[in-house]
Amino acid sequence: MKDKFNDSDIGMYITYVPTGEIGRLKQFDNNSRVAWVVYKCGDNWDQYQNYTAQATDYIALSVEGSL
């Protein structure tokens, strides 16, 4: 679990712990501890910014994700 994100974390690979699904960080809010993560982009990871992100609580995320 990550306690806080910063702007340099945008685009990092993240794992949704309950399912093991990998995604990329698109946006975050450290006050509400919610991150918006793109999980599905048809393996078009270099264009993840063009896909809809899903709001996910920080507690459910691991920054150990990679492809």
CATH of the domain at 39: 2.30.30
Q: Looking at the predicted structure, is the pLDDT value of residue 66 above 70? A: no
For 10-34, write each residue's pLDDT tens digit: 999 999 999 999 999 999 999 999 9
- 47 in any annotated domain: yes
Angstrom CA distances, 14 to 53, 57, stand at: 12, 12
DSSP-based three-state secondary structure for 61 = strand
**First-last CA distance in the chain:** 18
- 51 in any annotated domain: yes
Tokens of 5: 């994100």
For 51-61, write each residue's pLDDT tens digit: 999 999 999 99
> Are 13 and 23 spatial neighbours (Cβ–Cβ below 8 Å)?
yes
Q: Which domain holds residue 45?
A: 7-62
- 1 in any annotated domain: no
- 29 in any annotated domain: yes
Task: Using alpha carbons, select from 18, 7, 26, 27 the residue that is nearest to residue 61.
Answer: 18
- 27 in any annotated domain: yes
Q: What is the tally of structural domains in the chain?
A: 1
Look up the pTM and report it.
0.90
